[in-house]
Chains A and B, each alone.
Chain A
């Protein structure tokens, strides 16, 4: 990597990390998590992003050329071919079931029935393989059939292809363009894991009235699985936060949130933070009644994206000095507003919520596809003008110190010990065999759970 590209990468990453950690930096980072605008700015369709990884990367290269002030760009996205290989039913995809220029959309259904809690709680993995996957992945609908077995095979292969694409992309963004990522890896709040794809919103809401204890028990079981999913998909170098989109908290009353949503979510985040990671949480909808709970987590570890319905000023008032907040520009302003309006808004934000750090300018959890380019430019110019703290300060990335703790053991179906016992003995270097065995076991296990998203 060229020295100046390395420098650029480190400055950007350092700036982003400092904002999350509430530490001194040179200016407010331009660090949206989901920059949809970047994907289509060069003229690509929305289908291109998820089906043509070369065109996707070209789009972002063009974007970075025109907006070099941007500090992070997103990597992991839905990769269409994987979803097709297994017939995933949870999304409608542009170019497949939607016009190529319509954004992907989530489709909710009940893939776990109301009377299946006990089965799930007793053996989550078995439930996932025997019941959940055949329902949510259309190609696996008839377990044991040739088509289903082929689909599982193709699904694994597609996952490896996707991993390769994302890895190459990350390396290219880092080494050629000096561009870090806003987040790597993902998980859900246990309640969302239940309420998104498994039971759906309606099912889960009925359950909290009709069988509240079961919901709580299921959430408890899901803590372990979500921690595992997060750590298995995270950046091993711990540079980037792990992503958690929160979906259903905004529907709940404070009492319901405190009872059903928060305890298991908090436990999940605590364990992820304990493992040495930060978290980027999209607080979707209005979290006004719930957001103070983020104070219960260690300082500077959870970057909170405030959505359009939320109030960035209140969020800062509550979390300021404890967690970084992002947001402040309505999606409608990016799409319908004028550069002058954007400029005024950014100025206001910089002078209020941004003035003592721990703040990132963003739309409501993303930069919309239909953002006017001149509005995006106006946002950047205004951030540089009003959001600079110290021009002479050069941010540096954090180095991750080994903490001497045993790394968290990731979940497997057949641990190496079992396999070794079957083999009896190995003739050569055991660790070589063990490492690859465990890696594939972890990948397989993670593959199964990713479909709750």
Chain B
């Protein structure tokens, strides 16, 4: 693991910014810097899976990563070729305006090199469908904090089916009120118990 990746994994905030700054000044390509950060974020995910890190560390790593992205944005190649690969559409379903959990997943996905189409909160079914059609993403992530959203999750799955996309899209649900029973009710493919589990499912989908 590189020094930068390690600093990020260990949440040494100032050191991360400083190393990124140094690397940029030394002409290191922003894409290479990003790759190192991805390695650090993967390390954070591993520590979480091992029970050494908790949600607070996930949130803090996401914050550092976001700030690094800001540092890099100015110099990253402007028009990245959209490959149509590794895309994930994600959002909090209609009626629910909470996004802490979703944002952790988004950061981890980005840190794993996914292109994330984050639709935000209170997202209606048709917006999910449109985003899937537009992007060609193979994964749809539905997030919720409140338990009144069960029918809405089912509704989104139905809308994806109605649009003829169901067999091309893997649907994952996650968030506090979700479990296997809710997954079955909604007709989703997976229930992700935490952010890392969600990211691993995305990796699995794009591996095949």
- A residues with CB within 8 A of B: 92, 99, 102-103, 105, 107, 201-202, 205-206, 208-210, 250-254, 256, 285, 289, 308-309, 330-333, 335-337, 368-370
| Residues in chain B near residue A202, CB distance under 8 A | 59, 63
Can you show 29 pairs from A to B with CB atoms below 8 A apart?
A103-B146, A105-B146, A205-B63, A209-B13, A251-B56, A251-B59, A252-B54, A252-B56, A253-B57, A256-B54, A256-B56, A289-B54, A309-B176, A330-B179, A330-B181, A331-B147, A331-B177, A332-B147, A332-B179, A332-B181, A332-B185, A333-B181, A336-B182, A336-B185, A337-B181, A368-B147, A369-B148, A370-B147, A370-B150
Residues of A within 8 A of B96 (CB): 105
Main secondary structure of the interface of B (DSSP, over half): helix
Within 8 A of A (CB), among B24-59: 53-57, 59
Q: B148 to A103, Cβ gap below 8 A?
A: yes
Residue of A nearest to B147 (CB): A331
Known contacts A105-B98, A201-B100, A369-B148; is A253 also within 8 Å of B53 by CB? yes
Contact indicator A205/B179 (Cβ below 8 Å): no
Distance of B194 from chain A, by nearest CB (Å):
10
Contact A209 B150 (CB under 8 A): no
Write out the residue numbers on chain B whose beta carbons fall within 8 Å of the beta carbon of A254: 54
Q: Using Cβ atoms and an 8 Å threshold, which residues of chain B touch A102? A: 95, 148
Name the B residues within 8 Å of A105 (CB-CB): 96-98, 146
Report the minimal beta-carbon distance from B103 to chain A, rounded to whole angstroms: 9
- Asked whether B176 lies within 8 Å of A308 as measured between CB atoms, the reply is yes
Contacts of B63 in A (CB 8 A): 202, 205-206
Chain A contacts for B177, CB-based, 8 A: 308, 331-332
A201 touches B54 (CB 8 A): no
Q: In whole angstroms, how far apart are the Cα atoms of A309 and B63 in the complex?
A: 25
Q: Does the CB pair B54–A253 fall under 8 Å?
A: yes
Expressed in whole angstroms, the Cα–Cα distance for A337 and B60 within the complex equals 37
Known A205-B56, A250-B55, A251-B59: A336·B181 in contact at CB below 8 Å: yes
Q: Of all chain B residues, which has the CB nearest A284?
A: B176
Which of B11, B59, B146, B148 is in CB contact (< 8 Å) with A201? B59
A335 to B95, CA, bound (A): 17
Q: Which residues of B contact A103 (CB under 8 A)?
A: 146, 148
Q: How far is the CA of A107 from the CA of B99 in the complex (A)?
A: 10
B-to-A contact residues, CB < 8 Å? 11, 13, 53-57, 59-60, 63, 95-98, 100, 146-148, 150, 176-177, 179, 181-182, 185
Residue of A nearest to B54 (CB): A253
Within the complex, the shortest CB–CB distance from B117 to chain A, in Å, comes to: 22
Closest Cβ–Cβ distance, residue A78 to chain B (whole Å): 16
Across the interface, do B60 and A251 meet the contact criterion of CB distance under 8 Å? no
Which residues from A are CB-within-8-Å of B55? Answer: 250-252
A209 to chain B, nearest CB (A): 6
Give the CA-CA distance A208 to B59 in the complex, in Å.
12
A102 vs B95: C-alpha distance when bound (angstroms): 7
Bound Cα distance A245, B78 (Å): 47
Give bound CA distance, A369 to B13, whole Å: 43
Q: Once the chains are docked, how many angstroms separate the CA of A162 from the CA of B72?
A: 53
- Residues of chain B lying within 8 A (CB to CB) of residue A331: 147, 177
In the complex the two chains form, what is the Cα distance from A229 to B177 in whole Å? 31
Cβ contacts under 8 Å, A368 to chain B: 147-148
Q: Give Cα distance in the complex from A370 to B150, angstroms.
A: 10
Contact of A205 among B53, B59, B176 (CB under 8 A): B59
Given A99-B95, A202-B63, A205-B59, 11 further pairs, Cβ under 8 A? A103-B146, A107-B97, A201-B100, A206-B60, A253-B53, A308-B179, A330-B181, A368-B147, A368-B148, A369-B148, A370-B147
Q: Which residues of A have CB within 8 Å of B54?
A: 251-254, 256, 289
CB distance from A197 to the nearest CB of B (A): 15
Q: Which residues of A contact B53 (CB under 8 A)?
A: 253
Which residue from chain B places its CB closest to the CB of A206 in the assembled complex?
Answer: B63
* 8 A-B pairs with least C-beta separation: A253-B54, A251-B55, A331-B147, A251-B56, A332-B181, A336-B185, A368-B147, A332-B182
B176 proximity list for chain A (CB < 8 A): 285, 308-309
B56 touches A253 (CB 8 A): yes
**The residue from B97, B147, B185 contacting A92, defined by CB atoms under 8 A apart:** B97
In angstroms, Cα B96 to Cα A309, docked, is 19
A251→B59 CA distance, assembly (Å): 9
A369 to B53, CA, bound (A): 34
Give the chain B neighbours of A289 by CB distance below 8 A: 54
Q: How far is the CA of A405 from the CA of B39 in the complex (A)?
A: 61
- In the complex, A205 Cα to B62 Cα: how many Å? 12
CA of A241 to CA of B65, assembled, Å: 43
- List A contacts of B57 (CB < 8 A): 253
Nearest CB of B to A111, in Å: 17
Return A225 CB to nearest CB of chain B, in Å: 24
A253 to B47, CA, bound (A): 12
Cβ of B52 to closest chain A Cβ, rounded Å = 8
Q: Which residues of A contact B148 (CB under 8 A)?
A: 102-103, 368-370
Q: Which residue of B lies closest to A255 (CB)?
A: B54
Residues of B within 8 A of A332 (CB): 147, 150, 177, 179, 181-182, 185
Query: For the complex, what is the distance from the CA of A335 to the CA of B182, rounded to whole Å?
Result: 10
A205 partner residues in chain B, CB cutoff 8 A = 56, 59-60, 63
Give the CA-CA distance A333 to B146 in the complex, in Å.
14
In the assembly, what is the distance between CA of A27 and CA of B54, in Å?
39
